[in-house]
Amino acid sequence: MNTSLEQTLRLILPWQFLFMCKLTDVTPDTVIDRFMNDLGQEIWKRRENDAVRQTLVDYFVLCGYGQKWYTEQEIRQMFRELDAIGSLWPENDPARLARFNQLLREAAARYPSKATVVDLKAFVCPGGKYVATLDGYLIRSSDGIHFPHDAIPPVAAKVLPALRSIAANAKAGKS
């Protein structure tokens, strides 16, 4: 049994699906990733997709998944409970996230010679907008937040200059 939170799947995609993706200028990876993230409520802007998510839950139920062990109502309840759990994290509420980041900046400001906050969002959310790719690399894992292993080079290329500047200033005695 694979207990990893990330799994690599090898899929044979129907030509009709691939054709529709080509015609609509969307990659199969994007469609599949969005499908899983919208169903699982893992995306950064999770509340904007209520209608999409409800359609996906309906699809999940109509396919009969899990109904060998659970009733339809129990499965729908599980999705609601997973949604409630996911809403606990600050990144799912922009006001909470802003407050959390403000507290981090205030803490760093109290110890300027020991702490610096690097705004990672400025690098991975250009213009404050969520993006799944950076310089052609997928930078979001299945949860829509964390970086997969392949994202290390493009994210590091954006962040390292800021870290080098901080290190140079610290070495020169500047805060």
Tell me the pLDDT tens digit for each residue of 140-151.
877 677 788 888
Residue 172: Cβ within 10 Å count: 7
CA distances from 102 to 80, 108, 109, 141 (A): 31, 10, 10, 26
pLDDT of amino acid 98? 81
- What ranges do the domains of the chain cover? 12-88, 119-175
pLDDT of amino acid 72? 93
pLDDT of amino acid 34? 80
Q: What end-to-end distance do the CA atoms of the chain give, in Å?
A: 50
Tens digit of pLDDT per residue, the chain (175 long)? Answer: 344 456 777 889 999 999 999 999 999 988 888 888 777 765 444 555 678 888 888 999 999 998 898 999 998 888 887 776 666 666 667 787 788 888 888 888 988 877 888 888 888 888 878 888 888 888 887 767 778 888 888 889 989 998 998 888 888 876 5
How far apart CA 53 and CA 57 sit, in angstroms, is 6
pLDDT of amino acid 81? 77
pTM confidence score: 0.47
